[in-house]
Amino acid sequence: MLIQEQSRPGRRAVAQAPLYSAEVSDIPAGARRLVPLVLPEVSELQAVRHYTRLSQKNFSIDTHFYPLGSCTMKYNPRACNTLAMLPGLLARHPAAPDSHGQGLLACLFELQEMLKEVTGMHAVSLAPSAGAQGEFAGVAMIRAYHRARNDSARTEILVPDAAHGTNPASAVMCGFVAREIPTGPNGDVDIAALREAVGPQTAGIMLTNPSTVGVFDRSIQEIAGIVHAAGGLLYYDGANLNAILGKVRPGDMGFDVIHMNLHKTFSTPHGGGGPGAGPVGVSKRLEPFLPVPLVVQSGDDYRWVSERERPQSIGRLTAFGGNMGILLRAYVYARMLGREGMKRVSEFSTLNANYLMTRLKAAGFDAAYPQRRASHEFIITMKREARDLGVNAMDFAKRLLDYGFHAPTTYFPLLVPECLLIEPTETETKEELDDFVAALVAIREEARTNPDLVKGAPHTMPVRRLDDVRAARQLDLAWRPSANCT
Amino acid sequence: MPFVPHTDEDVAAMLGAIGVATIDDLFDEIPRELRIGELAAIPAGMAEMDITRLMQARARADGQPLCFIGAGAYDHHIPAAVWQIASRGEFYSAYTPYQAEASQGTLQLLYEFQSMMTALTALDVSNASLYDGASALAEAVLMAVRANRKTKSNRVLVPRALHPAYRRVLRGIVESQGIEVIEAPFDRQGGQTPAAALDALVGDGGFAAIVINQPNFFGIIEEVDVLTDWAHAQGALAIAVVNPIAMALLKAPGEWGAVGPERGADIACGEAQPLGMPLSSGGPYAGFLCCKKDLVRQMPGRIVGRTLDLEGKPGFTLTLQAREQHIRRGKATSNICTNQGLLVTAATIHLALLGTAGLERVAAACHANTRRLAALLCEIPGVEPRFDRPMFHEQVLRLPAPTADLLRALAAHGVLGGFDLGPDYPDLDPALLVCATELRTEEEMQRYVTTLARVIAARTQAKCPVEPKI
């Protein structure tokens, strides 16, 4: 039942509002609200019980193994949340003076410095609110760079076909044309096609390495050479930074601009879809274009730098300059890990992925790139199961829910048919991975003996499989009060 | 090893299964010359008790001054239950509800949020949130330009009395797509955006959309009916930027303008921070975006719909995904992938706890407190209201000395006196935007007034801008 449907006129959580109604008669009648405002009228206990119960209908990292490929669903340490919500940090107004923000600014400055070191970039801005906004900022800087050199012919951004959908969408949002580059049979970018595609119209290329097919592109230096020789810049999509943290740095691979997903690699919460944080790092030639605000150190003090001091900046991405509370969580996480802990992130996420891939291959499942080493994630294709048993990747995914596992990413990347993109992360135990293998084996057995059981899954969730077509055709996007409720 | 559970035995067994000798061998496809050694500039790891000590010291250093700043982010009471529930692991550590059956909690909550936002704005549909108010406005403008087939214009009209940071964000995001942002002046006397001044700006191209801010950045209540009708008469869409708390008292965007088939703003957006989100130096907050139903397919961001499962039982799922980047790639309505899920969780619980009457009381208290504060401050010689029209919960004051100097002196005494309008509006300088939410007590307001009076008096006596001893 919706909270709105539990509402009864006159029932209120009285303690939550000011004790008295203040006088507002000086607001002109013509400006006042006419339609009655209908919000839930429930007791405090009703609200608490309702949302506690709703939470229990979710899978989450805290309750379930969540091997969602490309999303890095690792444990979110509780200390990060507690310390980012300390009163002095939590209650600070965005327009409070720097003198009343030295604690915050010290954390953010040190985070900028650590991110520079771990990515090998020259400078970092923490401003973007999420990965996609980081991409927008990165591509906008590429645009600003070419414009500053009066090179207006560069209208295309190259994007591999395996890339996240945000890559071409961000390029288009910045006014570019997105041109696709195919992936070769071994999972690396098709170099011949890339050579063919570059030219004086190339503004840059957006790459994820390791890529979304779960392998490290071995020809990265060659790719960098080809794109740079054509006058384009290299953009690094940091979605898979977890796989190489402390091992290889995008700056050393030749990338000019990168974004990082702190909600992935630096373990800030995914929160049911956000907030994220998508800082950008740049090489020296792109530094003047970084989005504001930036934190600088002057003497013993720290201060914000805004548009006025950075005339070439691509500007501001949100009104107040970023998801500070998320950046603080990432800072706490980075300090707890330290330099050794960061290396272990990539080492153990890669160990877990390769172990899981090995076990699944041994159990008779098909890896999409069986000859390749897995990065921190890998793809299993259910093409054979779909053909022989009539049970597809989505059926496996839904049945996994009944076994108490969140499903891997399904049907992405689009170039591998019937795929499951599996990312176990470094925080899972060997036992959890073994249980996951056992579940997939058991489901395959069910698919042989009782396929309808799998095709009708899930059976134990709060709802059975939902009618998405109906959802899109008979739009029901908001509850409306019926006549007797108003 | 923080957060890595592997025992030595686990590692040996796993490497054995893979058939390699060391973990390092798993990185053998990476060209050797790219591999790095130690991350020298990163400090060694810290135990939880040590980082706790450090963070507590830093939080203490930032203090907890008395806040009279609004300017787009507001210090409201947040019920204890809001973040206790929002911080539950099942909300905190879940992701985008791609697997609907295992995410009914988040999905139903988002549907309830959408329902609350459509109630507040009196529009048909809402999405599941965007990054913040300013980026939501940029998305609203992109949406309006795509949707407006009448004028085929790429120009949008934005009041100068709109938040300066919103105008900057808007330009930064939309100008790369060839959209031109024109600014409309405000009335020097009243602080509102006069419709009469807009005709001169129409030119040949017309406008795809007109942004109407309620209340505006100066706290002034705009004549939204006139502005909405003016927009529609031009064939432009009306985009409302509203404070959600104000919607408890002021006309909702859906009821702006003359009664008729075109009635209402076409799109409404704004900052949801006042609904249960801590100030947190500017984020994370959440932007909201609502619209009339015929525009829904132009909407960016996640949208949740109610549907049926295969047994006919109601359930919730992400819908209209064909608008989004993971399906449409370069042809999507936006590149946005996240919504501000956790903040929306807080906002939904917050609104459920306040209800209609609670939200009305909060809005009224903010209005009354700001009126009281302004009256008290204006008893100080040289301090006077800058505009003469009604406000919601912020007020612009003219000051007898440079704003920045006074604010610095106030801050030294633990009072954040307001937002200095000078840098963004040199024509109003010296001017201060003040706000007193429902949290500010009579005693706190008196403290502000006394402190400011002494600061001004000390300046007058010393005739120099040194900070006075009080």
Give dist(CA B92, CA A85) in Å, integer: 14
Task: Give the tokens for residue A98.
Answer: 């720097």
Q: Does B360 touch chain A (CB under 8 A)?
A: yes
Q: Give per-residue pLDDT as tens, B14-38.
A: 999 999 999 999 999 999 999 998 8
Determine what percent of chain A is predicted with pLDDT higher than 90: 97
- Residue A39 has its nearest CB partner, among B116, B311, B371, at B116
Q: Residue B464's pLDDT band (boundaries 50, 70, 90)?
A: low
pLDDT greater than 50 at residue A486: no
CB B168 within 8 A of CB A315: yes
Cis peptide preceding B390, ω within 30 of 0: no
> If you ran DSSP here, which 8-state letter would residue B448 be given?
H
Do A79-337 and A345-471 have matching folds? no
Q: Does A48 touch chain B (CB under 8 A)?
A: yes
How many C-beta atoms surround the C-beta of residue B262 within 10 A? 15
Unique residue bearing structure tokens 């009821």: B255
Residues 6+ positions from A319 with CB-CB distance below 8 Å: B72, B132, B133, B134, B163, B165, B166, B169, B271, B282
Q: What is the C-alpha separation between B345 and B86, in angstroms, rounded?
A: 6
In angstroms, rounded to a whole number, what is the distance separating the alpha carbons of residues B137 and B210? 11
Please give the model's pTM, rounded to 2 decimal places: 0.97
| Under 8 Å between Cβ of B340 and B131 | yes
DSSP A51-79: HHHHHTTB--TTTSB--BTTT------HH
Cα distance between residue B352 and residue B116, in whole Å: 9
Band the pLDDT of B463: cuts 50, 70, 90: low
Q: What is the largest CA-CA distance in chain A?
A: 76
| Dist. CA A378–CA B201, nearest whole Å | 57
Q: Are strands A419-422 and B66-67 parallel, antiparallel or unpaired?
A: unpaired
Q: Does B467 have pLDDT greater than 60? A: no
Chain segment A280-339, per-residue pLDDT in tens: 999 999 999 999 999 999 999 999 999 999 999 999 999 999 999 999 999 999 999 999
Q: Which residues of B touch A464 (CB under 8 A)?
A: 101, 309-311, 313
Average pLDDT, chain B: 95
> CA B348, CA B388: separation in Å to the nearest integer?
36
C-alpha B432/C-alpha A151 separation (Å) is: 44
Instruction: Please answer yes or no on whether B390 and A28 come within 8 Å at the CB atom.
Output: yes
Is residue B298 over pLDDT 70? yes
Compute the distance between CA of residue B318 and CA of residue A205 in angstroms, rounded to an integer. Answer: 31
- CB of B116 within 8 Å of a chain A CB? The answer is yes
Q: Is residue B445 a contact partner of residue B373, using CB atoms and an 8 Å limit?
A: yes
Euclidean distance between CA atoms A226 and A207, whole angstroms: 14
pLDDT given at position B311: 96
The residues with which A302 forms a beta bridge, in sequence order, are: A297
**Residue-wise pLDDT tens digits, A331-383:** 999 999 999 999 999 999 999 999 999 999 999 999 999 999 999 999 999 99
Query: Are the CB atoms for A361 and A367 separated by under 8 Å?
Result: yes
Homologous superfamily of the A345-471 domain (CATH): Aspartate Aminotransferase, domain 1 (3.90.1150.10)
CB B316 within 8 A of CB B104: yes
Interface of A with B in 1-20 (CB under 8 A): 2-4, 7, 12-13, 15-18, 20
| Smallest Cα distance from B275 to chain A, Å | 12
Residue A159, phi then psi, degrees to nearest 5: -140, 125
Token readout for A95 is 């327009």
pLDDT band with cut points at 50, 70 and 90 for residue B146: very high
Could you give the domains of chain B? 8-62 (no CATH), 68-74+356-462 (3.90.1150.10), 80-348 (3.40.640.10)
Domains of chain A: which residue ranges? 4-55, 79-337, 345-471
Question: Quick check: A484 pLDDT over 60?
Answer: no
Please report, as a single letter, which amino acid is at residue B368.
Answer: A
B451: three-class secondary structure by DSSP: helix
Please indicate if any CB of chain B lies within 8 Å of the CB of A147.
Answer: no
How far is A128 from chain B, CA to nearest CA, in Å? 10
Structural tokens at position B321: 């995904």
Q: Which of B60, B79, B131 sits opposite A318 (nearest CB)?
A: B131
pLDDT of residue A211: 93
Q: Which residues contact A86 (CB under 8 A, 6 or more apart)?
A: B55, B56, B59
- E strands, B60-200, are 66-67, 125-126, 155-159, 180-184
Tokens 């009471």, residue located: B77
Find tokens 């071409």 and name the residue. Answer: A168
Q: Which residues of B242-257 are buried (b: 16+ CB within 10 A; e: fewer)?
A: bbbbbbbbbbbbbbbb
Query: Tokens in use for B188?
Result: 């020097």
Q: From CA A233, how far away is CA A257, in angstroms rounded?
A: 8
Dihedral (Cα; B1, B2, B4, B8), 10-degree rounding: 20
Q: Which residues pair with A32 in a beta bridge?
A: B250
Map tokens 């890095």 to a residue: A72
Q: What is the DSSP letter of A485?
A: G
**3-class secondary structure, B240:** strand
d(CA B100, CA A447): 22
Query: Which segment of A15-24, A37-46, B11-20, B88-97 scores lowest on mean pLDDT?
Result: A15-24
- What pLDDT sits at residue B327? 85
Question: Which of the four pLDDT bands, split at 50, 70 and 90, describes residue B1?
Answer: confident
Give me the pLDDT at residue A483, please.
Answer: 47
Interface of A with B in 284-303 (CB under 8 A): none
CB-based burial, B131-143: b 16+ in 10 Å, e otherwise: bbbbbbbbbbbbb
| Minimal C-alpha gap between B347 and chain A (Å) | 12
Please state, in angstroms and rounded to a whole number, the distance separating the CA atoms of residues A344 and B5: 11
Query: In angstroms, rounded to a whole number, what is the distance separating the alpha carbons of residues B163 and B171?
Result: 13
CATH of domain A79-337: 3.40.640.10
Whether B181 contacts chain A with CB within 8 A: no
What mean pLDDT is predicted for residues A42-53?
98
pLDDT at residue A199 is higher than 70:
yes
Q: Is the pLDDT of residue A481 over 90?
A: no
Q: Can you read off the two tokens belonging to residue A360?
A: 């699944």
User: Degrees (nearest 5) of the Cα angle A412, A414, A420?
Assistant: 35
Quote the strand ranges of B215-266, DSSP E.
Answer: 237-242
Taking 90 as the threshold, does the pLDDT of residue B152 lie above it? no
Place of tokens 């899981």: A356
Q: Report the residue from A54, A133, A428 with minimal CB separation from B105.
A: A54
Check whether A485 has a pLDDT greater than 50: no
Q: Nearest CB to B62: which of A100, A252, A398?
A: A100
Give the pLDDT confidence score for residue B315 in this predicted structure.
98
Residue A405 reports pLDDT greater than 80: yes
Give the DSSP H or E segment for A207.
strand A202-207
